Amino acid sequence: MREDNIIREEDYVLLVLDDKRRWIVKAKAGGSFHTHKGIVKFDDLLGQEFGTSVKSTGDRELAVFRPTIADMALLKMMRSTQIIYPKDSAMIVIQCGIGPGSKVVEAGTGSGSLTSMVANYVRPTGRVYSYEARKEFLDTARKNLELAGVSECVEIKNADITQGIAEKDVDAVILDLATPWLIVQLAWEALKGSGVLSSYSPTIEQTQKTVKEASKDDLFGDIQTYECFVRKILVREGKTRPETFMVGHTGYMTFARKLNKNSRQTNQTNFPAFAKL
Amino acid sequence: MREDNIIREEDYVLLVLDDKRRWIVKAKAGGSFHTHKGIVKFDDLLGQEFGTSVKSTGDRELAVFRPTIADMALLKMMRSTQIIYPKDSAMIVIQCGIGPGSKVVEAGTGSGSLTSMVANYVRPTGRVYSYEARKEFLDTARKNLELAGVSECVEIKNADITQGIAEKDVDAVILDLATPWLIVQLAWEALKGSGVLSSYSPTIEQTQKTVKEASKDDLFGDIQTYECFVRKILVREGKTRPETFMVGHTGYMTFARKLNKNSRQTNQTNFPAFAKL
Amino acid sequence: MREDNIIREEDYVLLVLDDKRRWIVKAKAGGSFHTHKGIVKFDDLLGQEFGTSVKSTGDRELAVFRPTIADMALLKMMRSTQIIYPKDSAMIVIQCGIGPGSKVVEAGTGSGSLTSMVANYVRPTGRVYSYEARKEFLDTARKNLELAGVSECVEIKNADITQGIAEKDVDAVILDLATPWLIVQLAWEALKGSGVLSSYSPTIEQTQKTVKEASKDDLFGDIQTYECFVRKILVREGKTRPETFMVGHTGYMTFARKLNKNSRQTNQTNFPAFAKL
Amino acid sequence: MREDNIIREEDYVLLVLDDKRRWIVKAKAGGSFHTHKGIVKFDDLLGQEFGTSVKSTGDRELAVFRPTIADMALLKMMRSTQIIYPKDSAMIVIQCGIGPGSKVVEAGTGSGSLTSMVANYVRPTGRVYSYEARKEFLDTARKNLELAGVSECVEIKNADITQGIAEKDVDAVILDLATPWLIVQLAWEALKGSGVLSSYSPTIEQTQKTVKEASKDDLFGDIQTYECFVRKILVREGKTRPETFMVGHTGYMTFARKLNKNSRQTNQTNFPAFAKL
């Protein structure tokens, strides 16, 4: 994060017209941004402090904020592939015990939205190894990581994670893949003891297969699956009410902690596991 | 985070017997922990890697994990006062744009559970200034911050935040208070432009008053209120289903971004605000 | 309900192309219904049993079902005013203890969707007295009640319910009004002892005022407010998941039971009530 | 429903002390009911109107209401087996298009709670045929149906429904069974065209099997699965908030409408169905 709070060339700014109409754009001297309520000239912003406002040529006032990682994820990265919502990535970061210094394996990179979130919280000494087999995503992902300001903590690997994980003793393995169950054994090998496997899947069948695989031979213990709902409340004088439509489902999040081999050898049957409960 | 993964004297360990029965205890040579399923001797754990398991004298196997900040918040800190659940603190951290280096004001400290979460994510260069007027909470809070390993990033201030905020140009002000609306003007003064005010309240009336205050004179823009539900899914072979009981309400979370004075002076009426929508 | 199950002239039929594309239309000899997937000719349906299918001129098969009251409410009546969703009207019917023979006062009629639901369940011996001050709704409401086949159990009254309720000793008073709290005292007078007042409101402020009024002087006891969410689950081979978007809010439902005067006179303070809890 | 509103011998009354403490008891001359807040003497109630209040010997006032079918289901019937909550049975009644005159097959009877709800809404001319293989439930079920006042509309059949359904041309088949998918073909045979099959199951696997079976050979169309959540809102002056704990899951509800044979023969592939979507 920069020391001062001044909007400069090449900075991303969040323009807010109202609840629904909001954009993240890069400020360029001489440039402008077109909304259906008129044009915003970047020269009106440059040199101002974030938190200022600006008038469009259509005489509408827009607030000018500094975008957060969550804004980036929602507004900037969602174009290329399915993104993970901030509500879910927040839970993943916290349930995985991720913090500054954490060493994390992640797959697939996709547009880099979850990667950015995780990378933001391992800074400055941690590292994210992000696997993506599909070449066509790499450019977008790299651009988005730069945009989020976390490039130096991320190593994007153009590799199929089902073919192996090179890293060892990692703190967490975070999966957002169509077939996460294929990676469970590899994740176990990559994790340190007590390290967390996290898997995010839209369907219950993906979740079932992954939980089943994770509980096999007591590879993992304390296996938990959650779904998270967020509802917006419209707080308005005399007419406060929740928003009519909400996102009712994004994905199921599964978390599991690595059990060491010695425990598993001497004890095949005592942990809470898929097959036994 | 320590380099190796070995359980040593004075380490906190998470013991998991099953889904519901889990404890965080401090490992001490010669000591033991009593469960209703027998005694766990710490000497059986010391020198082992996290992720191991241990047998109680009642012949029950317990998994031994390294507790995360979220485990700490849920299992260790919830005794003294109402805590904020990890699902909510995760959202607060991400919506406030908190990351390594962030400068944050927080009140009240309480048992220090939200403080620990926030502090964990400003490490190593950021700082949390945590206000707590009630003397009787200070000891517990300090102990919990130590327990979470974040003491060096937190300055606990035994002061009533309604009497003033000493810090300036902070990135976020995070409130968990009975009367958050009294702090809105002070928070505006402490924040840098575009900085985020976050307020967490169990009741809708607290939320309404806070939103009203924040939208006065366009102090803040982009004011949003959310509630977050988390539901556990019991993934079991042939009988997968959500858990019967869930936490249906913890608190409403309001987020608002500081608008600078100049914008407000020239433009009193254009932003989405409580009184106008 | 007619004895046989044959589609005849003037019958309403529910045409289902898929999950989202469904219509209720009146079958007329020689007539047809135009979809973007071709034309359905009613002569292909007349004389068939409900549950049949029909091919459009675009060679698409549509299922032909007998519409239920809930289908009517969702597909047919929702055009004129805000309707109450079947999930909510179902709860209102059951929580009010409505059944065959019940005598119910309702306001406002609106398009008649809630009226139809309630009327359907008081049949054949009960009666719904439905108040609607706005003349412009009466025609639509009458048409919709006919459509639902419940006209003979409903008396639509073109009157402002705040001016008084003519009925006495009714089993339930069901309100879907902008200012329900103005009717609470009148509802009390119309209800028999232990009869149920039900009020449906989109905002929390309407709900608060109504609950406050109902608990004044112990007019009502056992006052409860609920919200009801329904989420659709897409059960598909290998890819079962909840639907992405859902209705997150319709309205709050409040239920209260009439306390008799004698109780109230002798005992002003013992019941669970708004002002005291 | 009786004409007058007077509490008489053998009437069931709902006693409400507060939100959590409520009981349904049978009023008997000379008898009494013991609460931890003192004794209620039935002689104080007999001859009073419903909606009155009564003082316990512990000087606490209790409200005395006439129990509805929903009260019965929740308070009186839940002792013997798992009951279906009123929120769910309300949706089942409405989605099945049940009303006065409907002819319904139901299984299993269990304690009779869903049976009572359905029976209440087919009165006075309809009929519920309720199958229960387990002899030990019959007595409780019969007692509960009597308690709910719906005995004359229900025929309890001590038979295993997997062995066949004797009824033909029924409007709805309502299943609350461990293995509902075994009944799908039989339900099809019992239903009239466009009649509704409803199945309630706690687990997703039961639901998947049932949906799969119902969509086979286009036996049924318009197959929909829902879950329903109800959250209580505590409306209190200055401190309105949802209740902390809620029921997060009861069961999934599946509804499907019978397609006639002729449609199915000529058209095997066009309807929205499990295997094809």
Average pLDDT, rounded, for chain A? 90
Query: D interface mutation test: which of B249, B250, B252, B253 has the most D CBs within 10 A?
Result: B249
Cβ–Cβ < 8 Å for D172, D119: no
Average pLDDT, rounded, for chain C? 90
Min Cα–Cα distance to chain D from B204, Å: 6
Residues in chain C: 277
Residue type for position B210: T
| H or E segment and range at residue D234 | strand D220-234
Note whether C249 contacts A: Cβ–Cβ < 8 A. yes
- For the stretch C84-95, pLDDT in tens is 888 999 999 999
Angle between the N-to-C axes of helices A138-148 and A113-122, in degrees from 0 to 180, rounded to the nearest 10: 40
Percent of chain C with pLDDT over 70: 91
DSSP state at residue C8: -
Question: Which residue ranges does chain D devote to CATH 3.10.330.20?
Answer: 12-67
Average pLDDT, rounded, for chain B? 90
- For the stretch A115-134, pLDDT in tens is 999 999 999 999 999 999 99
Alpha-helix residue ranges (DSSP H) falling in C3-155: 69-71, 86-95, 113-122, 138-147
Separation between Cα atoms, residue A45 and residue A33, nearest integer Å: 12
The yes-or-no verdict on residue C4 having pLDDT over 50 is yes
Is B225 close to A232, i.e. CB distance below 8 A? yes
Cβ–Cβ < 8 Å for C241, C171: no
Query: D interface mutation test: which of C6, C21, C65 has the most D CBs within 10 A?
Result: C65
Residue type for position B7: I
pLDDT band at D277 (very low <50, low <70, confident <90, very high): very low
Note whether C159 contacts D: Cβ–Cβ < 8 A. no
| D133-D135-D140 Cα angle (round to 5) | 110
- For the stretch C47-85, pLDDT in tens is 999 999 999 999 999 999 999 988 988 877 655 557 788
- For the stretch B196-212, pLDDT in tens is 999 999 999 999 999 99
Cβ–Cβ < 8 Å for C33, C57: no
Average pLDDT (B121-137) is: 95
Structure-model confidence comparison of residues D267 and D65, the more confident one: D65
| H or E segment and range at residue D25 | strand D22-26
Average pLDDT (A175-185) is: 97
Query: C interface mutation test: which of D40, D235, D274 has the most C CBs within 10 A?
Result: D235
Is D240 close to C5, i.e. CB distance below 8 A? no
Nearest Cβ partner of A203 from C204, C241, C243? C241
SS (H, E, C) chain A: CCCCCECCCCCEEEEECCCCCEEEEECCCCCEEEECCEEEEHHHCCCCECCEEEECCCCCEEEEECCCHHHHHHHHCCCCCCCCCHHHHHHHHHHCCCCCCCEEEEECCCCCHHHHHHHHHHCCCCEEEEECCCHHHHHHHHHHHHHHCCHHHEEEECCCHHHCCCCCCEEEEEECCCCHHHHHHHHHHHEEEEEEEEEEECCHHHHHHHHHHHHHHHCEEEEEEEEEEEEEEECCCCCCEECCEEECCCCEEEEEEECCHHHHHHCCCCCCCCCCC
Beta bridge partners of residue D14, listed in sequence order: D24, D65
Q: Which pLDDT belongs to residue C90?
A: 93
Please, which residues have CB within 8 angstroms of residue C208's CB and are 6 or more apart in sequence?
D235, D237, D240
Angle between the N-to-C axes of helices C86-95 and D86-95, in degrees from 0 to 180, rounded to the nearest 10: 120
Is C260 close to D52, i.e. CB distance below 8 A? yes
Average pLDDT (C248-277) is: 67
Q: Smallest Cα–Cα separation from D121: which of D186, D194, D70?
A: D70
Is D231 close to B249, i.e. CB distance below 8 A? yes
- For the stretch B209-248, pLDDT in tens is 999 999 999 999 999 999 999 999 999 999 999 999 999 9
Separation between Cα atoms, residue C159 and residue D235, nearest integer Å: 31
Q: Superfamily assignment of C70-266 in CATH?
A: Vaccinia Virus protein VP39 (3.40.50.150)
Residue type for position D80: S
The 10 Å Cβ neighbour count of residue B216 is: 15
Q: Smallest Cα–Cα separation from B89: which of B257, B223, B251?
A: B251
DSSP state at residue D82: P
The yes-or-no verdict on residue B275 having pLDDT over 80 is no
Helix (H/G/I), strand (E/B), else coil: D147? helix
Nearest Cβ partner of D243 from B232, B238, B248? B248
Whether residue D124 is preceded by a cis peptide bond, meaning omega within 30 degrees of 0, is: yes
Cβ–Cβ < 8 Å for A218, A224: no
Nearest Cβ partner of C233 from D123, D225, D233? D225
- Exposed, middle or buried: residue D37 (CB in 10 Å: 0-12, 13-18, 19+)? middle
The single residue listed with the structure tokens 């809930």 is C70
Is D99 close to C1, i.e. CB distance below 8 A? yes
Is B244 close to D250, i.e. CB distance below 8 A? yes
Separation between Cα atoms, residue D230 and residue D87, nearest integer Å: 7
Q: Which pLDDT belongs to residue D20?
A: 85
Within a 13 Å sphere around the CA of B186, how many CA atoms are in the beta-carbon half? Answer: 18
Min Cα–Cα distance to chain D from C135, Å: 30
- For the stretch B147-173, pLDDT in tens is 888 999 999 999 999 999 999 999 999
Q: Which pLDDT belongs to residue C147?
A: 86
Whether residue B99 is preceded by a cis peptide bond, meaning omega within 30 degrees of 0, is: no
Nearest Cβ partner of C248 from A204, A240, A243? A243
Note whether A158 contacts B: Cβ–Cβ < 8 A. no
Residues of B in contact with D239 (CB under 8 A): 202-203, 205
The yes-or-no verdict on residue B268 having pLDDT over 90 is no
Average pLDDT (A20-42) is: 92
Min Cα–Cα distance to chain A from B207, Å: 8
CA distances from B207 to A237, A239, B183, B187, C86 (A): 11, 13, 13, 16, 31
- Exposed, middle or buried: residue D100 (CB in 10 Å: 0-12, 13-18, 19+)? buried
Separation between Cα atoms, residue D246 and residue D202, nearest integer Å: 17
The yes-or-no verdict on residue D35 having pLDDT over 50 is yes
Angle between the N-to-C axes of helices B138-147 and B113-122, in degrees from 0 to 180, rounded to the nearest 10: 40
Cβ–Cβ < 8 Å for C191, C234: no
Q: Which pLDDT belongs to residue D263?
A: 57
Beta bridge partners of residue D242, listed in sequence order: D233
The yes-or-no verdict on residue C270 having pLDDT over 70 is no
Whether residue B97 is preceded by a cis peptide bond, meaning omega within 30 degrees of 0, is: no
Q: Which pLDDT belongs to residue C263?
A: 57
Interface partners of B (3+ CB pairs, < 8 Å)?
A: A, D
Percent of chain A with pLDDT over 90: 80
Average pLDDT (A197-206) is: 97
H helix count then E strand count, chain B:
7, 15
Residues of C in contact with A240 (CB under 8 A): 203-205
Separation between Cα atoms, residue A99 and residue A123, nearest integer Å: 8
For CA atoms C55, C56, C59, C65, the dihedral sign is negative
Q: Which pLDDT belongs to residue A135?
A: 95
Q: Which pLDDT belongs to residue B19?
A: 84
For CA atoms A48, A53, A57, A59, the dihedral sign is negative
Residues of B in contact with A252 (CB under 8 A): 233
Average pLDDT (D136-156) is: 93
DSSP state at residue C169: S
Q: Smallest Cα–Cα separation from D174: which of D256, D81, D249?
A: D256
Q: Which pLDDT belongs to residue A84?
A: 86
The yes-or-no verdict on residue C234 having pLDDT over 90 is yes
Min Cα–Cα distance to chain A from B26, Å: 17
Is D241 close to B248, i.e. CB distance below 8 A? no
The yes-or-no verdict on residue B81 having pLDDT over 70 is no
The 10 Å Cβ neighbour count of residue A100 is: 22
Q: Scanning every residue of chain C, which has its alpha carbon at the shortest distance from the alpha carbon of D206?
A: C235
Percent of chain D with pLDDT over 90: 80
Q: Looking at the domain covering C12-67, what would its CATH class be?
A: alpha beta
Residues of A in contact with C246 (CB under 8 A): 245-249
Is B99 close to A90, i.e. CB distance below 8 A? no
Note whether B50 contacts A: Cβ–Cβ < 8 A. yes
- For the stretch C183-231, pLDDT in tens is 999 999 999 999 999 999 999 999 999 999 999 999 999 999 999 999 9
Cβ–Cβ < 8 Å for D179, D207: no
Beta bridge partners of residue B229, listed in sequence order: A229
Helix (H/G/I), strand (E/B), else coil: B191? strand
pTM confidence score: 0.93
DSSP state at residue B60: -
Residues of B in contact with D225 (CB under 8 A): none
Query: Which D residues in the span 94-153 are in contact with B, Cβ-Cβ below 8 Å?
Result: none
The yes-or-no verdict on residue B274 having pLDDT over 70 is no
Nearest Cβ partner of B124 from A55, A100, A231? A100
Average pLDDT (D250-272) is: 72
Question: Which residue ranges does chain B devote to CATH 3.40.50.150?
Answer: 70-266
Separation between Cα atoms, residue A188 and residue D277, nearest integer Å: 35
Percent of chain D with pLDDT over 70: 91
Q: Which pLDDT belongs to residue B3?
A: 67
Percent of chain C with pLDDT over 90: 80
Give the tokens for residue D69. 């079918």
- For the stretch A57-88, pLDDT in tens is 999 999 999 999 889 888 776 555 577 888 99
Is B204 close to D250, i.e. CB distance below 8 A? no
Structure-model confidence comparison of residues B78 and D218, the more confident one: D218
Long-range contacts at A1-7 (CB < 8 A, ≥ 24 apart)? A1/B99, A1/B101, A1/B102, A1/B171, A5/A49, A5/A50, A5/A51, A5/A66, A5/B169, A5/B192, A5/B193, A5/B194, A6/A47, A6/A48, A6/A49, A6/A50, A7/A45, A7/A46, A7/A47, A7/A48, A7/A49, A7/A50, A7/A52, A7/A64
- For the stretch A235-252, pLDDT in tens is 999 999 999 999 999 999
Query: C interface mutation test: which of A88, A228, A237, A249 has the most C CBs within 10 A?
Result: A249
Q: Which pLDDT belongs to residue C267?
A: 42
The yes-or-no verdict on residue B122 having pLDDT over 70 is yes
Q: Which pLDDT belongs to residue D269?
A: 41
Q: Which pLDDT belongs to residue D104?
A: 98
Note whether A59 contacts C: Cβ–Cβ < 8 A. no
